[in-house]
């Protein structure tokens, strides 16, 4: 199984500042035949289901604000929120869909400093 | 609008069975893979399994923690997927979500509690 490891486990950032969450996979999730990274990012607020933010490591889902961006390739990935808003307080998860089981990172809790 | 609604959760004793449903609307259900994911209270997300479409022979895959006990099926005529859970353990207690593999949409979840 591919193990997904996120860092940090929790993060406190001031409003308007940049937030960066990292995700590392135990093996590459880059599929060479199409040059796509099978990596997604989700946002989960208390009492709500996860919401898809990013897929193919860097493609924003429809309606996701452009302050959210994803980057990376192979085994190392980053979710960046360029200017933190109060509404961004949540737990963020990465997930690989390169192979089954489709494993998730342990989550990163993002709070306001 | 893509919508997924889970139902069938509840309290069940260890060793018991429960069948969850995932009713879909707003997209071409028959062409989509459906995934089940669970989340124990205060914990992270755990992928449970998935079923592919008829075009992919309704292929299923499961997490090791549920393989042999859980079965995923679907009825495309009813736009509904199912998660049959047998030999339930206390550690299966969680909110169970279904999600559409294409759009990334998720349902609101249904709570399963396994306790004596």
Residues 82-111 of B with CB under 8 A from A: 97, 104-109
Q: What is the pLDDT along chain B (116 residues), one digit of tens a residue?
A: 999 999 999 999 999 999 999 999 999 999 999 999 999 999 999 999 999 999 999 999 999 999 999 999 999 999 999 999 999 999 999 999 999 988 889 999 999 999 99
Query: Is the torsion defined by CA of B2, A106, A25, B63 positive or negative?
Result: negative
Q: Does A22 touch chain B (CB under 8 A)?
A: no
> CA of A102: which chain B residue's CA is closest?
B47
Q: What is the pLDDT along chain A (113 residues), one digit of tens a residue?
A: 999 999 999 999 999 999 999 999 999 999 999 999 999 999 999 999 999 999 999 999 999 999 999 999 999 999 999 999 999 999 999 999 999 999 999 999 999 99
pLDDT of B102: 84
C-alpha–C-alpha distance, residues B18 and B88, integer Å = 8
Residues in A touching B6 (Cβ below 8 Å)? none
Q: Does B52 touch chain A (CB under 8 A)?
A: no
Other C-beta atoms closer than 10 Å to the C-beta of B61 total 18
Q: In whole angstroms, how far apart are CA A111 and each of A54, A87, A90, B14, B34?
A: 20, 10, 7, 37, 32
Q: In whole angstroms, how far apart are CA B19 and each of A21, A47, A51, B67, B81?
A: 37, 23, 25, 15, 10
Rounded to a whole number, what is the distance in Å from the CA of B12 to chain A's nearest CA? Answer: 23
Q: In whole angstroms, how far apart are CA A113 and each of A13, A87, A91, B109?
A: 5, 14, 15, 31
Q: Give a three-class secondary structure readout of B56-88.
A: HCCCEEECCCCCCCEEEEEEHHHCEEEEEECCC
Q: Whose structure tokens read 């859980």?
A: B70
Residues in A touching B108 (Cβ below 8 Å)? 48-49
DSSP secondary-structure letter at A89? -
């Amino acid at each position: 199984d591919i193990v997904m490891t996120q860092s940090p486990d929790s993060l406190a950032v001031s409003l308007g500042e940049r937030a960066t969450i990292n995700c590392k996979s135990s093996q590459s999730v880059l599929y060479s035949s199409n040059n796509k990274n099978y990596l997604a990012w989700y946002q989960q607020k208390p009492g709500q289901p996860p919401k898809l933010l990013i897929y193919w490591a860097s493609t924003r889902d429809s309606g996701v604000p452009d302050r959210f961006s994803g980057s990376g390739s192979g085994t190392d990935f980053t979710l960046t929120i360029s200017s933190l808003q109060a509404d961004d307080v949540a737990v963020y998860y990465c997930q690989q869909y390169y192979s089954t089981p489709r494993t998730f990172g342990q989550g990163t809790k993002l709070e306001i400093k | 609008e893509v919508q997924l609604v889970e139902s069938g959760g509840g309290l069940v004793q260890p060793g018991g069975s429960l069948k969850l449903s995932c009713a879909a609307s707003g997209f071409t259900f028959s062409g989509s893979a459906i995934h089940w994911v669970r989340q124990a209270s205060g914990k992270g997300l755990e992928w449970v399994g998935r079923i592919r479409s008829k075009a992919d022979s309704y292929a299923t895959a499961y997490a090791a923690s549920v393989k042999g006990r859980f079965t995923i099926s679907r009825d495309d005529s009813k736009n509904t997927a199912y998660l049959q859970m047998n030999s339930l353990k206390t550690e299966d207690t969680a909110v169970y979500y279904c999600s559409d593999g294409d759009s990334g949409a998720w349902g609101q979840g249904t709570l399963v509690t396994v306790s004596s």
